[in-house]
């Protein structure tokens, strides 16, 4: 069973792997090694099932939180399994502790209480709208991330989803691949093989 902690760890590992792996097809044309620049990698974690923002990044500094959630609130900062304080007001759920180093290094930003302007009350429609990037439009044939990759240009293996099926956000990108876990890649050699197959000719 894939736990939240395992998923976060795999996601962070995937990001580090993509940054470090010298694969010619990842992202746009790679900068020369002498430049010292690193490729930019976007990690998208889409939590299906309705993640609770007030639990993930709890406003523990607001007394209204404990007053309105007396039975389901996260223990206060400093307690066993308590909220991990970030700035005196917001704090991370203890299960998200692997993200804390990224916050401290100023490599993680949190944008709270953000959603779609579409008024649908269907959770399933809302998920599709988020992945298509077209709220209120059901017939969009591709995902926002696939369109962004096409706009970016380049070829070869550029996107990898840690899922059994390709997510809607990546549909429309002919180079996108889905794997249930990093272990299923069976090493860097197999990933290089996929890059050879998929690039540079995107028609393959």
Please tell me whether the overall predicted TM-score, pTM, comes out greater than 0.75 for this model: no
57 backbone dihedrals φ, ψ, rounded to 5°: -125, 85
Name residues whose C-beta falls within 8 Å of residue 184's C-beta, 6 or more positions apart in sequence: none
pLDDT at 29 over 50: no
Burial class (CB in 10 A: 0-12, 13-18, 19+), 35: exposed
**How many angstroms separate the CA atoms of 113 and 159, rounded?**
28
Name residues whose C-beta falls within 8 Å of residue 201's C-beta, 6 or more positions apart in sequence: 155
What confidence score (pLDDT) does residue 7 get? Answer: 54
**How many angstroms separate the CA atoms of 136 and 129, rounded?**
7
pLDDT at 23 over 50: no
Q: In this predicted model, what pLDDT tens digit does every residue of 170-203 receive, in sequence order? A: 999 888 888 887 776 665 556 666 666 666 554 4
What confidence score (pLDDT) does residue 199 get? Answer: 60
Q: How many CA atoms lie within 13 A of 54 on its CB side?
A: 9
What confidence score (pLDDT) does residue 34 get? Answer: 45
Supply 42's token pair. 């976007």
């Amino acid at each position: 069973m894939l736990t939240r902690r395992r998923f976060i760890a795999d996601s962070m590992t995937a990001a580090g792997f993509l940054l470090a792996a010298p694969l010619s097809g990842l992202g746009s044309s790679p900068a020369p090694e002498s430049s010292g620049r690193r490729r930019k990698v976007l990690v998208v974690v889409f939590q299906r099932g309705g993640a609770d923002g007030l639990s993930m990044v709890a406003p523990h500094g607001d007394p209204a939180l404990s007053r309105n959630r007396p039975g389901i609130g996260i223990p206060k900062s400093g307690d066993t399994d308590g909220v991990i304080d970030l700035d005196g007001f917001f704090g991370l759920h203890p299960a998200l502790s692997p993200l804390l180093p990224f916050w401290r290094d100023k490599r993680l930003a949190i944008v709270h209480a953000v959603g779609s302007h579409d008024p649908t009350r269907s959770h399933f429609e809302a998920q599709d709208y988020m992945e298509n990037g077209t709220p209120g439009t059901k017939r969009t044939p591709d995902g926002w991330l696939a369109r962004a990759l096409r706009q970016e240009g380049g070829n070869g293996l550029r996107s990898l989803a840690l899922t059994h099926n390709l997510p809607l956000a990546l549909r429309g990108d002919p180079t996108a691949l889905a794997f249930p876990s990093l272990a299923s890649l069976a090493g860097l050699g197999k990933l290089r093989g996929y890059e050879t197959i998929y690039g540079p000719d995107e028609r393959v």
